């Protein structure tokens, strides 16, 4: 990725940006997010198949904002998150430089956030066949077994909130889960609190989730919480038309059509 390093270097040298958010060497053979402020550090930038963390999560953090204008290394999932953040008025055109990385690992530059949408229009979110199957398998169970399955899965959750921290779209400065007047979700990690937390997390991402799987990757217990958001993505597509982050379309749950169809309201 010499091109990427050269570009990042140039941006820092000309002071067009003050920080470059990218992937660097982590422990053992892993990669981690790095924050570069000097041109000579740019040699540390790497990009390969191990770079799965969604870097867009840092764009809304106050600590990063304080560093100045960022440039961000953005493979497809990160581009989707950036577009959704822009659609939610969290990012402006001149507030960042996006160093896109195509699936062929080539550098793609974007003049405006709107041009990201044009670029992504040929790369629609597609839910993997194995996940579709997993969701269908769960749905095929009788309701009590389904409940038992999830209670058991969520039993492992000890409320570390890594799923929330890893998600670029969980950017509220005060989360419902920290609210204690009233206490919506009890603090301890027990079956009820865990269930309520994951229902709330999934609901708050309904029609916004860009299917980057950062939540699942971050989960230390590998609880299949991504199946919840993936299933909701399917529901959005079925009920309200294909979802993809967009600056032109309204957000799914903050808009409506008078003739939205359902079958369960009397």
Partner 1 sequence: MTEFEPKIVAFVCNWCTYAGADLTGTSRIKYAQNVKIIRFPCTGRIDFMLLLKSFGEGADGIIVSGCHPNDCHYTSGNFHARRRWIMFRGLLDLLGIDVRRIQYSWVSAAEGAKWADVVNTTVTAIRELGPYADYAKVANYLEKEENA
- 177 close to 184: Cβ distance less than 8 angstroms: yes
| Helix 191-204 / helix 143-155 crossing angle, nearest 10 deg | 100
Which of these ranges, 30-38, 80-88, 96-104, 142-150, lies near partner 1 under the rule CB under 8 A?
142-150
Pick from 173, 243, 172: nearest CA to 210: 243
Smallest distance from partner 1 to CB 228, Å:
7
Residue 91 touches partner 1, criterion: CB under 8 A: no
Q: Write down the least CB distance from residue 265 to partner 1, Å.
A: 4
Which of 10-18, 86-94, 159-167, 236-244 is the region at the interface with partner 1 (rule: CB under 8 A)?
236-244
The Cα 194–Cα 185 span in angstroms is 8
Q: Does 250 bind partner 1 (CB under 8 A)?
A: no
Binding mask 198-227 for partner 1 (x = CB under 8 A): -xx-xx--xx-------------------x
The distance from CA 20 to its chain's CA centroid, rounded to whole angstroms, is: 19
Instruction: Give the bridge partners for 66, in sequence order.
Output: none
CB of 100 to partner 1, least distance (A): 31
Within a 10 A sphere around the Cβ of 198, how many other Cβ atoms? 19
| Nearest CA-CA partner of 98 in 208, 11, 201 | 11
Compare residues 16 and 156 and give the one whose CB is closer to partner 1.
156
Segment holding 109, helix H or strand E: strand 107-109
208 three-state secondary structure:
coil
Binders of partner 1: how many residues, by CB under 8 A? 46
**Residue number with CB closer to partner 1 (70 or 207):** 207
Residue 171 interacting with partner 1 (CB under 8 A):
no
The whole-angstrom separation of Cα 70 and Cα 100 is 13
Q: CA 252, 114, 107: angle at the middle one, nearest 5?
A: 120
Closest CB 9 distance from partner 1, rounded Å: 45
Instruction: Identify residues 98-137 at the interface with partner 1 (CB under 8 A).
Output: 135
- Report the interface residues with partner 1, using CB under 8 A: 135, 138-139, 141, 143-151, 176, 184, 190-192, 195-196, 199-200, 202-203, 206-207, 227-228, 231-232, 235-236, 239-240, 252-258, 260, 262, 264-266
């Amino acid at each position: 990725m010499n091109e990427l390093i050269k570009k990042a270097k140039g941006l820092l040298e000309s002071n067009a940006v003050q920080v470059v958010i990218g992937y660097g060497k982590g422990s053992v053979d892993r990669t981690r997010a790095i924050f570069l402020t000097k041109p000579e550090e740019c040699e540390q930038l790497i990009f390969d198949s191990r770079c799965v963390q969604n870097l867009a999560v840092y764009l809304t953090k106050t600590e990063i904002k304080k560093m100045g204008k960022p440039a961000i290394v953005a493979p497809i999932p990160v581009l989707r998150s950036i577009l959704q953040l822009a659609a939610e008025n969290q990012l402006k055109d001149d507030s960042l430089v996006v160093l896109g990385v195509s699936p062929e690992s080539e550098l793609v530059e974007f003049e405006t956030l709107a041009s990201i949408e044009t670029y992504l229009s040929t790369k629609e979110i597609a839910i993997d066949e194995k996940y579709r199957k997993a969701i269908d398998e769960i749905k095929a169970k009788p309701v009590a077994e389904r409940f038992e399955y999830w209670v058991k899965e969520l039993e492992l959750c000890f409320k570390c909130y890594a799923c929330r921290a890893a998600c670029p779209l969980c950017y509220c400065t005060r989360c419902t889960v920290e609210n204690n007047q009233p206490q919506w979700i009890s603090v301890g990690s027990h079956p009820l609190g865990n269930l309520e937390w994951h229902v709330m997390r999934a609901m708050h991402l309904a029609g916004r989730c860009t299917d980057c799987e950062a939540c699942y990757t971050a989960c230390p217990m590998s609880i299949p919480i991504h199946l919840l958001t993936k299933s909701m993505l399917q529901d959005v597509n079925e009920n309200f038309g294909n979802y993809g982050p967009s600056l032109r379309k309204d957000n799914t749950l903050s808009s409506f059509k008078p003739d939205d169809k359902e079958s369960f309201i009397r």
